[in-house]
Amino acid sequence: MKTLVLANQKGGVGKSAVAVQFAYYLADVLKKRVLVIDFDHQRNTSKAIRTGGLATVSPITSSRLLTSKTDAASIEHADFVLVPGDAELIKMEKQAAEHNKFATNLYTFLADIADRFDVCVIDTNPNPDIRQLASLVVGDFVLSPLQLNQEAIDGIGDLLNHDNIGIRKIKATINKKLELIGILPNIVEPTPFQRENLRDLSAAFAKLLIPLGAGFAAIKKTTAIPEAQAAGLPVWKLGKSSAREAWAHIRPVFSKIATQMGVE
């Protein structure tokens, strides 16, 4: 099983939409066995997948994966399973003495269930706390969606170099297999401001962007993705011309990410 962690130090970048739509891509298009874990207390990933009814929703919530020893037998036998978020997630950071146990519990659970799924997609909260740290400690790959504004671009340094949860420190000290797939510009608009920010991002962080064709992978702003999220559906099943256009743009991006993970 390959584990992909979606992480960012800033909220509101469309991270959960990328997590949901990529999970649908893995399950529906690539026919992979997919486990989704929602560690974000806002629970946007959980809401979208519940609404669509395309995955089996486990009665085991994601906070339990951290607080208790949970084995594979606790999770339903299905090819597409969601472990939803819950209200207890917000309390994790207040239990500092338990943080090592939380990370160990998650590691043990994923190791036990690894032969049941091909890919695990973990959506994390935007705060650099134990939920995100534990996910990065057990993950194989990191994908970081971001919006093209200066605040988000400035936050890339924290994502990479944060004293406690920076990807580079985790890879060097705890999880040597962790690989950054890249930064994925999301909700990209064809405005002069965003074009300028994309140029700045490309100049400063070219090695962190995901090569695609003659440029870099990015997801354009479209009404189709929020509509698909609200319906709980893959964007390619929304049945609108805008959704077909969005899917034609998104599919090569998802294919590239899956290829870099070695699952396509």
Q: Quick one: pLDDT at residue 158?
A: 77
Give every CB contact of residue 101 below 8 A, 6+ residues apart in sequence.
none
Q: Quick one: pLDDT at residue 11?
A: 64
Q: Quick one: pLDDT at residue 159?
A: 80
CATH architecture label of 2-261: 3-Layer(aba) Sandwich (3.40)
Mean pLDDT per 10-residue segment, the chain (264 residues): 89 86 98 97 96 96 95 93 95 87 95 97 89 94 87 75 83 93 88 80 83 90 95 95 94 97 93
Q: Quick one: pLDDT at residue 205?
A: 78
* pTM of the shown model: 0.94
Q: Quick one: pLDDT at residue 165?
A: 74
